[in-house]
Chains A and B, each alone.
Chain A
Amino acid sequence: MKVALFIPCFVNELYPHVAMATAELLEGYGVDIHYPLAQSCCGQPLSNNGDSQGACDAARRFTGIFKDYDYVVSPSGSCTAHVKHHYPWYIADNADYQALQPRIYEIVEFLQDVLKVEKLPKPVYFPHTVSIHQSCHGLRELGHAAPSELMIPYHSRLERILQLVDGIEVKQPERRDECCGFGGTFSVDEPEVSVAMGEDRVAQHEATGAQFIVGADPSCLMHMGGIIRHRCRPIRPLHIVEILTGRGGAA
């Protein structure tokens, strides 16, 4: 099984340890990992700002780079949702994309649905309280959990996989899946609203008594992290792969 890592552009530059934890986690399960060096941005910022030509070119380029792998796996729910659910806006009839699309996975989905993992590669003891951050695209486009708006049975991928971690206590914030306010370029187009949403979100996570905010989307964690740092709050954002590889408690 040849698995390609799709590391979003900002993760490559700003959260290399999240990308490395993703690689190590997969290697821990014996997966043959490849990292195509030609990859760049998936084009989501272009698509979300109406540049359909740029978004279309990015989608074609992505497909060309990743089409020959068995699976494509990424540690970002939002970028995964873009390539999996919005590329059809631009390249729906591209045969290579049609073949690739069902093989694109966000990391937690891949662990649960393809590898069907029942334990972690090495045992992790994490004696802390974490508050789950359900990022919107993972939640509502990838189906990471039952969104609070829909009257369907409750489930949550992140909570399920965290059951494999010893000693952890998992909490949910009030308004369990409200947006943190990042929204890509929204964060700088409407910075006041973006930060107001983020401040509320951080406060709700803090109110659970958690020491960590845990999510599967580095962009939301970056935004909330910026607010936390500005306000010198003790809570820390953490990507779920950092916990699953036992790196989370390091700091």
Chain B
Amino acid sequence: MKNDNINHAEAAAAFLQDREQARWHDSAIWWVRQKRDMQAKQLPEWEQLRALAQQIKAHTLSRLDDYLQQFQANAEKNGVTVHWAADADEHNRIVHGILAAAKVKKLVKSKSMLTEECGLNPYLEQHGIEVIDTDLGERIVQLRQEPPSHIVMPAIHLKKEQISELFHRELGTEAGNNDPTYLTHAARANLREHFLTADAGLTGVNFAIAETGGVVVCTNEGNADLGTALPPIHIASMGLEKIIPRLEHLGVFTRLLARSAIGSPITTYTSHFHRARPGGQMHIVIVDNGRSDILGNDDFYQSLRCIRCGACMNTCPVYRRSTGHSYSYIIPGPIGSTLGPSRDIKKHGSMAFACTTCGSCSNVCPVKINLHEQLVLQRKRAFDAGTLKPAKKMGLLAMRFLTQHPSLMDAGGKVMRKVVPIVPENLTRHSAWSRPGRALPEMPEQSFKEMWQARQEKKS
């Protein structure tokens, strides 16, 4: 679970103290953005695909209730048990109920941001069930007892040396052996043991198909497949926006997903689950947890089109220089900075300001969410909810007044131009502008207005 009290600016400043690690983080993630560009460039129809994906999702959201009911009916025809959870707590209770009924002691999980959102791991652990995350990145952050820093690459904030130390401590690997292949083999051996001894498997859902009642899970490690093939119980947890109408629509999204996410043409595994295996059980838990409220909001409903590819994080210059751990909501970066404030503006208001409004996120988004605009619209909610610091609010109200009174604004500008050059540098050095290493602009003698008026007088 994440600490809600994180203030992005403060956390980011702390992260940037180690400039070398920060530079490495920025380059590692920029490299993924470049891979995405290379893949996208190879498809002449890339922009058409994005438009199509946007339209399919927009259509689905406009008839979400119909498609969800159709999905439930078809899943039940396949013998799947469908559960509805209004919020995180109900989701956790449902999952625990299924596991408790079957006396499950160990659950293997493939990556699911929804279960992070719901805080499922701590809930089940409190109820005596061992939970093992099986995605390598998720396993690493689970062993470090910290939240994922990225929705697709959960441990992207760590270097191999840090993982080597962790594995030495937790899995007994050789001290100082930083070889990625060696470390991956060690994780694999450890996870294999857990797969073989688990009583149930839980997966997320990338796409749920109304027409077939089936769910699709995309992974690169095959961990969702082992986690569902070995234990007899499969629970799939999904947010209610994961639905698409028909199987024929899936290709649009699978072509976009991995290219956008990690710059590969497709995920290694695209697994379709329709029914439990003979003698087993399959459950699907459909979770609302605030999504209906977002759906009803004109400014933000488009954020429900998200397919959780993480491309907006990879391109975000602020995310790359601050890590996912600087954001208070479990989903960081641009998409998290609209979803978090939608959930709770008082807790997550600072996220909406962690953005220069450069707009790169809206352009990489495979479903064309107007992310950078949503962040500005979330700031309106932050302003109205009174979450701005008093000094900032005062400054804005002063600006509001000056905007309506240009002669006072001109007078203020003149004072600034005359005073700043004579203020000793050690007084301005600690200002927010100058503190991190940025000189104040040079102050010209005259404003343009003064120059223009003098010029007009000379002319006449």
Contacts and interface: CB of A to CB of B under 8 A. Distances in A.
A199 B26 CA distance: 13
A53 B453 CA distance: 32
A250 B64 CA distance: 63
Interface stretch (A43-51, A96-104, A157-165, A206-214): A43-51
A215 interface: no
Contact of B400 (A54, A136, A223): A54
A201 to B, nearest CB: 9
Contact of B317 (A43, A151, A179): A179
B438 A13 contact: no
A179 B447 CA distance: 28
A80 to B, nearest CB: 14
A16 B444 contact: yes
Contacts of A12: 413, 447-449
Given A47-B376, A49-B379, A50-B380, A38 B406 contact: yes
Interface in B340-378: 353-360, 362-364, 376-378
Interface string B374-399: 00111111111000100010001101
Interface in A5-33: 7, 9, 11-17, 19-20, 23
Contacts of A86: 376
A191 interface: yes
Interface string B216-237: 0000000000000000000000
Contacts of A7: 448-449
Interface of A: 7, 9, 11-17, 19-20, 23, 35, 37-41, 43, 45-54, 57-58, 61, 86, 89, 136-137, 139-141, 147-152, 175, 177-179, 181-200, 222-223, 225-227, 229-231
Interface of B is mostly: helix
A178 B355 CA distance: 13
B12 interface: yes
Contact of B356 (A11, A177, A181, A192): A181
A196 B16 CA distance: 8
B424 to A, nearest CB: 17
Interface stretch (B41-49, B90-98, B165-173, B287-295): B41-49
B19 interface: yes
A10 to B, nearest CB: 9
A40 B412 CA distance: 12
Given A20-B448, A49-B388, A149 B439 contact: no
Contacts of B356: 136, 179, 181-184, 186, 194, 197
Nearest to B318: A193
Contact of A188 (B379, B400, B432): B432
Contacts of A148: 37
A152 B47 contact: yes
A236 to B, nearest CB: 12
Interface in B314-334: 315, 317-318, 321-322
Contacts of B451: 16, 19-20
B441 A222 contact: yes
B321 A197 contact: yes
A40 B449 CA distance: 11
A142 to B, nearest CB: 11
B435 interface: yes
A46 B409 CA distance: 15
5 contacts: A16-B451, A38-B406, A189-B432, A190-B8, A190-B12
Given A40-B405, A151-B43, 7 more contacts: A47-B376, A151-B46, A183-B356, A183-B357, A186-B357, A193-B322, A226-B438
Nearest to A192: B13
B16 A193 contact: yes
A150 B363 contact: yes
A161 B400 CA distance: 37
Contacts of A16: 444, 446-448, 450-451
A14 B383 CA distance: 29
Given A149-B363, A195-B438, A46 B448 contact: no
Ranked nearest first, the 9 interchain pairs of A and B with the lowest CB-CB distance are: A183-B356, A50-B383, A54-B400, A50-B379, A149-B363, A179-B358, A16-B448, A229-B439, A140-B359
Contacts of B380: 50-52
Contacts of B403: 40-41, 43, 46, 54, 57-58, 61
Contact of A19 (B37, B41, B441, B448): B448
B176 interface: no
Contacts of A23: 452
Nearest to B412: A13
Contact of B41 (A37, A151, A222): A151
B296 interface: no
Contacts of B321: 193, 196-197
A53 B355 contact: no
B52 interface: no
A183 B358 contact: yes
A89 B379 CA distance: 14
B16 A192 contact: yes
B319 to A, nearest CB: 10
B308 to A, nearest CB: 18
A133 B334 CA distance: 23
Given A49-B383, A183-B358, A193-B318, A13 B416 contact: yes
Given A16-B444, A20-B451, A46 B400 contact: yes
Contacts of B440: 226
